């Protein structure tokens, strides 16, 4: 009697079979299909420098997505990440007006991100408030401070060497941002999949009460995750501000939606408990290729926003629809 693959437990299938049946394998196929489509749609896509420029569409967002993935796996979320970028960029711009150099600017950007992350974490873990409510509030708070400080103005005059973080190249067409993205991806992969901390994150996401009784300091782990999300937002603020060369209160507006979409597209369960960093890395490439392809075809930005919104809804809804269909067939 033959059995279909869906009736074979994972422990009885080979690692290669599990790989080809994984969400990550599907993302690889989608990325290759989009790459081929873009190369056929535009004669400029396969240019080495254009491909390098395409990485700027996702590297800064993906840096935040790595930390956001861990946070969502633990059962929490941070919708204030784009506003943290705005506040960190404003703090860096204000420091420039006071004569700060590049090292001081970078430290201020990272510290601002850490402080914002600590503020979110303290409200969620210290007062047991829902993270979605807290971060919606701080999303308005942080960006509101930027608007109060800047108004309709912009900070400019950043040091010339500061531009290297967002515009510099490590080797030929390999940018510093892309190199940092790969390094952070490797670090977060090890942290989530190879350490006790990563196992604690999964345990908390699956059952926080059981994790607490098993000796895991749930509040402490979640606070660290909010710190990491704030830090990654600070790093993204440094890179984005360096690349643009200026600070406006509207900087990174709407990025929270794209970051969450990137995480969910990468296979992270929005309800927590499951997901992988390699999936998020592949999702970053997919979204970067799509948005860059739209740009080469002069597709309006509003169409890109519609696509991102539909993608987020689809990625969340399709697995549930598929599971209901499978249940009815069974």
CATH code at position 324? 1.10.3470.10
- pLDDT for 6 equals 39
Count of the separate structural domains present in the chain: 1
pLDDT band at 4 (very low <50, low <70, confident <90, very high): very low
Whether 59 maps to a domain, the answer reads: yes
Whether 34 maps to a domain, the answer reads: no
Whether 10 maps to a domain, the answer reads: no
* pLDDT for residue 15 is more than 70: no
Could you read off the pLDDT of 317-327 as tens digits, one per residue? 877 787 788 78
Whether 18 maps to a domain, the answer reads: no
Whether 13 maps to a domain, the answer reads: no
State the Rg of the chain over Cα. Answer: 21
Contact 120, 256 (CB under 8 A): no
Whether 182 maps to a domain, the answer reads: yes
- pLDDT for 63 equals 97
Whether 216 maps to a domain, the answer reads: yes
pTM > 0.75: yes or no: yes
Q: How is residue 79 annotated by DSSP?
A: S
- Containing structural domain, residue 290: 51-329
Whether 217 maps to a domain, the answer reads: yes
Partners of 175 in the β-ladder: 169
- The answer for residues whose C-beta is within 8 angstroms of residue 281's C-beta and 6 or more apart is 62, 185, 266
């Amino acid at each position: 009697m033959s059995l279909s693959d869906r009736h074979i437990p994972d422990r009885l299938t080979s690692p290669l079979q599990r790989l080809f049946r994984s969400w990550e394998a599907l993302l690889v196929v989608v990325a290759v299909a989009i790459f081929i489509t873009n190369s056929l749609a535009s004669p400029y896509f396969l240019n080495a420098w254009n491909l390098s420029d395409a990485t700027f569409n996702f590297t800064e967002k993906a840096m935040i997505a790595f930390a956001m993935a861990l946070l969502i796996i633990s059962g929490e979320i941070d919708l204030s990440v784009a506003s943290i970028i705005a506040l960190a960029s404003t703090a860096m711009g204000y420091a420039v007006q006071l004569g700060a150099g590049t090292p001081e600017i970078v430290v201020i950007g990272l510290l601002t991100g850490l402080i914002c992350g600590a503020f979110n974490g303290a409200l969620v873990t210290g007062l047991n408030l829902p993270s979605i409510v807290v971060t919606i509030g701080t999303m308005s708070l942080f960006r509101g401070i930027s608007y109060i400080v800047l108004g309709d103005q912009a900070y400019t005059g950043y040091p010339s060497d500061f531009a290297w973080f967002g515009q510099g190249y490590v080797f030929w067409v390999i940018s510093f941002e892309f190199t940092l993205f790969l390094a952070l991806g490797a670090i977060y992969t090890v942290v989530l999949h190879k350490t006790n901390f990563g196992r604690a994150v999964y345990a908390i996401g699956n059952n926080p009460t059981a994790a607490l009784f098993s000796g895991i300091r749930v509040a402490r782990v979640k606070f660290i995750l909010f710190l990491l999300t704030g830090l990654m937002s600070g790093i993204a603020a440094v890179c984005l501000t360096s690349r643009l060369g200026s600070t406006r209160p509207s900087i990174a507006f709407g990025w929270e939606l794209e970051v969450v979409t990137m995480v969910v597209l990468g296979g992270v369960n929005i309800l927590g408990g499951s997901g992988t960093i390699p999936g998020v890395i592949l999702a970053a490439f997919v979204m970067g290729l799509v948005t860059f392809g739209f740009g080469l075809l002069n597709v309006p930005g509003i169409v890109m926003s519609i696509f991102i919104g539909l993608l987020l809804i689809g990625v969340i809804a399709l697995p549930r629809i598929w599971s209901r269909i499978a249940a009815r067939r069974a």
